[in-house]
């Protein structure tokens, strides 16, 4: 499956962005999906996940109540609505996919996802 992210940009603290991840090549609703981010000087961090056919969602503690992950299987697209953005949210955001189901404890493991997008930059700064 091929993944293409979009929607990143520069936003002031407290602002919002909506990221999209368009998938192609396979049956999208069979895939467990995740959002990850990579900040300068840090390791890639899991942000949120949603299982195939909509199971979930699940969030990292750092983004709970601010971010919302969703998927539209009819459009083969996953979204990440990001509100109340903070400078600490700055980074390159990646979507990732794997066929089938992951147990909750494995949703945040990068080695469980064989398919990755190219990333989209999110910068939160005044």
**pLDDT at position 68:** 98
Averaged over 32-37, what is the pLDDT? Answer: 96
- State how beta strands 31-38 and 45-50 pair: antiparallel
What three-state secondary structure class fits 64?
coil
Q: Give the whole-angstrom CA distance, residue 15 versus residue 75.
A: 26
Each residue's pLDDT tens digit, 21-30: 999 977 888 8
Each residue's pLDDT tens digit, 38-92: 998 999 999 999 988 667 899 999 999 999 999 998 999 999 999 999 999 999 9
Confidence check: pLDDT of 101 > 90: no
**pLDDT at position 61:** 96
**pLDDT at position 10:** 98
Are 20 and 36 in contact by the 8 Å Cβ rule? The answer is no
**pLDDT at position 52:** 80
Averaged over 8-18, what is the pLDDT? Answer: 98
CA distances, 122 to each of 44, 105, 113 (Å): 14, 27, 22
**pLDDT at position 9:** 97
**pLDDT at position 102:** 82
Are 87 and 100 in contact by the 8 Å Cβ rule? The answer is no
**pLDDT at position 54:** 60
Confidence check: pLDDT of 100 > 90: no
């Amino acid at each position: 499956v091929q993944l293409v992210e979009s929607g990143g940009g520069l936003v002031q603290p407290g602002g919002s962005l909506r990221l999209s991840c368009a998938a192609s090549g396979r049956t999208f609703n069979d895939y467990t999906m995740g959002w990850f981010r990579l900040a300068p000087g840090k390791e890639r961090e899991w942000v949120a996940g949603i299982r195939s056919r909509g199971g979930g969602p699940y969030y990292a503690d750092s983004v709970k109540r601010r971010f919302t992950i969703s998927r539209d299987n009819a459009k083969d697209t996953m979204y990440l609505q990001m509100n109340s953005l903070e400078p600490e949210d700055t980074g390159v955001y990646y979507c990732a996919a794997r066929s089938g189901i992951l147990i909750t404890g494995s949703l945040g493991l990068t080695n469980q996802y064989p398919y990755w997008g190219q990333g989209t930059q999110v910068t939160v700064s005044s």
